[in-house]
Amino acid sequence: MKTVNVGIIGFGTVGGGAAAILAESDPPLSDKIGIDIRLKRIAEKNKGLWRPVGGRLDIFAERAEDVTDDPEIDIVVEVIGGIEPARSLILRALDRGKAVVTANKALLAARGAELFRKAMEKGTSIGFEASVAGGVPVIGAMRDGLIANRIEAIVAILNGTSNYVLTRMVEGGIPFSEALAEAQAQGYAERNPANDIEGADTAHKLVLLACLAFHSLVDLKDVPTEGISKLAAEDIRYAGEMGYGVKLLAIARRRPNGLELRVHPALVPKGHPLYSVRDVFNGVLVFGDATGPVLFCGRGAGRMPTGSAVVADIVDAARGTARQAFSKMAFLHTGPGAAPPVIPLDDIRTRYFVRFTVQDKPGVLGAIARVLGEKDVSIASVIQKEPVAGGGVPIVMMTHSAIEKNFRTAMEEIGRFPFCVRPPAFLRVEE
């Protein structure tokens, strides 16, 4: 039986999960794939995290170079996160001809082209299934299972922390701060949750999915990103009364004039496939020209789900299929030609949910309607709510499809009217 040795750099949540699967899976991986995959070394500088794996404690080392430089190790798994030293360690492993597996979406989104180029030069591969949606095998499915399709769009929930917070706001009727505190108490949110709730984590993952979907390099700076920290509980409540849920969405679409890329909270109707993706689950809706919509759903984070995705990439590398699949993705560092332009957010067209808090006086609705009409924003429906504490009457509107720049200009103009008690609040709608 062929033997393949694996080294893991980092023994946190993901590294611990991958190590446990490699050492303790029942039945053993060798029974499933006919290859003896052996965990040879784990590099973890924090000795306080060391604990026996497969009954062994001597498997640990403090230096990452004990993994990257070991000539007997065939596959290097990087799960320490961040840009450095992860980037340098991956390059060091690739220079030695080793296959690499990583869950580091931030690094790949920022420096992926450099790493992929090095892997191509050295005739090896980088597996990154675990970098998007945890245990949901969406990378492999888009790369291989949907190969016959021209991917037209991706609409996805890619961050379990934000999805949990929004689920609690919707189902518990509680404000953002309280929902976030619950997520932290449950271990779903970091002490500093900014990367998750402000959309950065989702944007990193969207970049990787968009590269695969459109066979073009996508730059992180071209992805407009908004988080959920400014969402008001009343907007979520009003949206629910109208038959909509609120999700933090990653959206990528082909358009005749380029690519549409954006991350922001949005309303989805009850009939939408992502409406029922709740709690810490991720959902990735992929639109292929042959298949139509395909939904991938599962736990997007956690020790064992993400560890499962890491091990799947290890198995591909051990079998030799990873190199073959990776060679098909030359566009990740060279591009198939000129990449399509990214459409500015100002030029996108979508529907909007908007809440005005105004004085209860004659002529207000007419003034709002006049400005919207002048900016080519058509009203689909309007509801006046009961007065709120602190003064003002909420007017909730749904618009028809409108251009973002026109809509925002209208909001700025309406917000300057003396009858506006608060600035208008709005959310985009994803049908």
Give me the phi and psi of 128, to 5 degrees please.
Answer: -140, 30
* CB distance 129 to 312 below 8 Å: yes
Rounded Cα–Cα distance for residues 61 and 304 (Å): 23
Q: Cβ of 352: how many Cβ atoms within 10 Å?
A: 23
230 a catalytic residue: no
Q: Looking at the DSSP assignment, which residues form a beta bridge with residue 17? A: none
* CB distance 216 to 331 below 8 Å: yes
Which member of 98, 105, 205, 375 is catalytic?
Answer: 205
How do 292-299 and 2-9 pair as beta strands?
unpaired
* CB distance 57 to 39 below 8 Å: no
Burial class (CB in 10 A: 0-12, 13-18, 19+), 182: middle
Which residues are identified as catalytic? Answer: 205
